Amino acid sequence: MLLAVFSDSHGSAVHMADAVAKYAPDVVIFLGDGVRDAECVRALHPDTRFLILRGNCDRDPAYDDTALLTLEGVKIFAAHGHAHGVKYGMDKFCTSVWCSGSALGLYGHTHRPLWQEIRGMQILNPGSIGSAQHPTFALVRLENGKADCRILDAIEKENGVDTK
């Protein structure tokens, strides 16, 4: 199963829409700060499963702040991260992931991509898909109860020049 994980589009859905069209993920997870952008992309891909979470810049209470799900045998805790203080450290977020029994923790908010193992858990921040300078997102392959991640640049470059 292929997941596309995005966060922090902040009014720019173009790169997210391009990535979903190019990679055709089974599930799209949006970690907040741009729920309207994620809804626009969902409208373009009605057959793709979407999980859309609310971030600190989103005001619509129809969206959850956090989610707990299991896909392909991998338990996942997802949140925007602002309520966990991720700009100031990972302890509170990692504690939430660990207490939920999850093997994979997804968060955004910092706009800094990260993929690392912390206390036996895989922790992923896809960065900001809406960044003007360096938009990023993540693809996560779930197989046999394991998660494998790649953080990708949303703008393809060849010899340092945009190819779009």
pLDDT at 161: 45
The stretch 150-161 carries a mean pLDDT of 74
The domain spans of the chain are 2-162
Residue 106 pLDDT exceeds 80: yes
Residue 163 has pLDDT above 90, yes or no: no
Under the banding of pLDDT at 50, 70 and 90, the label for residue 49 is: very high
**CA dist., res. 36 & res. 52, Å (int):** 10
pTM of the model: 0.94
Query: What is residue 162's predicted lDDT score, i.e. its pLDDT?
Result: 52
pLDDT above 70 covers a percentage of the chain that reads: 95
End-to-end CA distance of the chain: 28
CA within 13 Å, CB half, 6: 34
Q: For residues 87 and 71, give the distance between their C-alpha atoms in angstroms, rounded to a whole number.
A: 28
Q: Within 13 Å and on the Cβ side, how many CA atoms surround 47?
A: 3
- DSSP per residue over 83-127, as a string? GGTTTT-SHHHHHHHHHTT-SEEE--SS---EEEEETTEEEEE--
pLDDT > 90 in the chain, percent: 93
CATH homologous superfamily for the domain 2-162: Metallo-dependent phosphatases (3.60.21.10)
